[in-house]
Structures are given as structure tokens and as C-alpha cells.
A and B are shown apart, each in its own frame.
Chain A
């Protein structure tokens, strides 16, 4: 089995981060924005995993563990964010019968 170089993983994560951030900026549906946010956080997870892999190949196991730990914390934070975000979307849907963010435009200039 040929090991995958960590630069490839970094490249993939950069692509994912771009997809996520573009999604947040361009999509108008609340849930789609939400999914894009999750993609952004998970692309950061991939970077941590990639660097941890590199450090593990170099034999620095303690340093690798620090990065892998960070991943678990990001996953937990993403879950908490999901709880808060979905609650917000439900509250908005009750008031507006829609979660299209373009319909929320009272505050401007």
C-alpha cells in the first residue's frame, strides 16, 4: 500500500474550505448555509489530521496526538453549533414561515 502524502490531504481540505465558504456567501437557504458552515469546520479537521499524520510519520507521537485531540473538540463544537443554529431556524420559521435569508432584510444601512 502506498501512503498518501499529507500535501494531497491539505489540498483536498483547501478545496473543501473554499466550497464551504462560497456556500455560506452564495446560498440563500438557511439549511444550505448551515451545511456549508459544517463543511468549513470539517475542512479544518482534515488539516489537523493531515499534519498529525505527518508528525506521526516523523515519530513525534505526542505532537501528533495534540492535533488529533483538536479534531474531537471541533466535532463537539460543531454539534453544539448545530443545536443552537437549528433552534434559531425553527424560531425564524415560526415567525416568517420561511428560512430564506433574503426574507430577513429589515436591518440595512
Chain B
């Protein structure tokens, strides 16, 4: 029976659990930090020695932890890219700018269990020789910012933060920096610019890879809130043990934000890949099914920028058979395991693990219009294709949604979107164009019939302005 697996949300879901340090410590808080700081150096079979910090980094790599922010990149690999020979300070930034539409998982941690994040951060900083770290928090989360600052003060008072942490001689300071309400600040290099006090224009890569030229052009690690929390549990369990959670290459647990047309919207923590999309939507332990009398129409599986999946779609998933050979397995939409790789093979992504369910009462044209409005508003405007294209798509969809559509608008939208994806400085180009590409391709008839209807309405009433 599919059920939740609570690792990150274990404490915060318990009745009576409060965000203060006393409660956190009564629930075993900061034990992982003590364990990490007392890690012993390790001799490797090849005769080399691993420092305690390298041991922790190695455990994170072995755990298979993948970033929970959206791209799903290996956290251990990301850490391994950090330039440790530059002589410059290394910074760590917690990306708490959670603003992908549909996503509300980090908010739970920040509001209800801030010490879990702080403990994960301290361990990660220690393992990467970081002396100064930042939590860049979304401006629209003032309560979370207040709680974080309070929690940081408590951790400082308890000797987990500041000078000479737990008597080990290790110094670390963490500052909370509040954003001012721009989605683009969640893009790591845009975030870094914003933290430097500049307009959050994402940087070009090359040359500005954060691991080499990040904050103040120093090596910088940027990790998502949930990712950093997992580090705490990797230390507790050990990398190999942690890797047994979830499925191969999709290890650990993940908090899914489920919203839209389901009976029980909310956040659910699952072992990655152990629960299918269908179970998440229909099982009473999760979404509890659609509203009575409604049919599933579409699923946006990984935050609003992921490509939409259409009810009834089937996908060819590559699976390793018992003989080690890769085989193709036809999988229906609702049977897709909710993990990184399966969704990628289905042509979309698990992104920020925000599932938005659309039932047959929804107009895809109106839904896409809503999404496009968001992206047109949030494009930073730095590079041409996204700056001009995002608003162009929004204007076209607005027209289509307000009786001024054309049958040709489906192709018109596809052309605009195709000229954005892959041609921009940051992934916002994909984020803005993928919804358009997938909605129009998979629901073309809906767009064309809306446009055709508008055309006939205008033809019947020639006094109206023509496009």
C-alpha cells in the first residue's frame, strides 16, 4: 500500500512540535551535527587518506542525493566541482526563494522546523570549509524569515553557530537575506547577483559557474532548503543506508506539493519512485481522487514550468531487466513512478515536485493564459528571446482568451516558444516556453477550436475590430 515516508517532515508533522531549539533537541536535533564534527579521518584502500570533511562529502556523494530545487542534479557532484584551490573563501547559500507556482514544500520546513535546515547547513558548511553562509529567502515569506532569524539566534546561543562551534575551533556565521519578490531570484546566479545587491540578472555560464565564480566571484555552493535538510539525515544514516531509500539513482525521500483538482491537496513526503503519479492523485493516503463526477484532463507534474502530461498518455520507459539489459516498458501516465528519471523519460520533469492536477472542468487555453501571465511578469528581461517572447506569448494568449483569437494562434504560439527554449542565459527560457509548447502540442484541438470560434464570431459581426 502506497504511503508516506516521513524523514524531513517527521517532526514537523507531529502534534505539539514547535520550531524552537528546545523542542528540536528533544527530538534528537543537532545530534547529526555532533556526529559530523566528530567524524574521524578515513584511510582509503588505495592508501590515500580522507579528511573528516572529505568523509562527509563522500557520504553525500554515495547517498545519491539529488537537488530538490528543480534540476535534480547530484548534490555530491555539485560539491565536488567547488574550486578549493583558489585561496578564496567558499560560500554556501541556501536557496529558500521557493516560488515555482504549485510548490509549497520548503515553506513547511522554514515555518515549522527551521533548526533542521540550520543543522543541515552547518554540516554542509563544515564539510565544505565554508565560514560564511546565507539563507536567501523569498520576500513573500516574512514569518519564515522571522523564525529563521530566531532559530539562528538560538543556535548561536547554544554554541552550534558562531565562533568555535562545539569546541572544535570551527567558525561559521549564517545570515538571512530577504528577497524583494522576484521569481528569477530563485535562479542560482540571479540569486547571487541579488545577494550582492544588484539586479538579479542571471549570469552567463561560462564563465560564471558558481562553483568557481559565484558570490563575490568566489567559489559558491547553492543548495535548496530540502536538499540541505537531507544532508542531516545522510549523516545520521550514513550515505549507503540513505541510498537504500527510494529507488536506484532516485534515492531518498521527497516532499511532493499536490494541488489543483484533488480532494486532499497538500504536501506528502514519499520515497522517491516508490509511489506512482496515479497513487499520488487517487490514493486516500494522498490526493484522495478527483472531485465527484470529474475526469482527469492533465497533470503538470513538476511545478508550473514542467511540460504538461495529458490524461491517457503512454510512455516508453527504459528499465534495466534482470539480465542487465535495458528494455523499453510501456507505462501509462498514472503508472509513472514519481521520480526524477521516469518523468524525464516521459518528456517532462519532476522539477520542484509540485503536482498540479487539472480535471475536465478546466480550459487549457485559460490555464496556459494564467501561466503565461506569470512568466511574462517574472521574466527579468535581460536576454532578448525571453524578454520579448514571454510577453508576446502572454499577449497572444490574452487575445485568445478574450474573444480575439485566430485558428493560426496555435502555430503562432509554438513558433514563439520554440525561439525561446535553449537560447537564453538561464533556464527561465525553458520555464516560460515549455508550458506553451506542451499545452499547445497536446491540446492543439482546444486552442484551434477556440481560435476558430473567435474567427467565426468576428466574421458574423464585421463591425468588431479585426486582427
To the question of whether A and B form a pair in one complex, the answer is: no
Which B residues have a C-beta under 8 Å from some C-beta of A?
none
Which A residues have a C-beta under 8 Å from some C-beta of B?
none
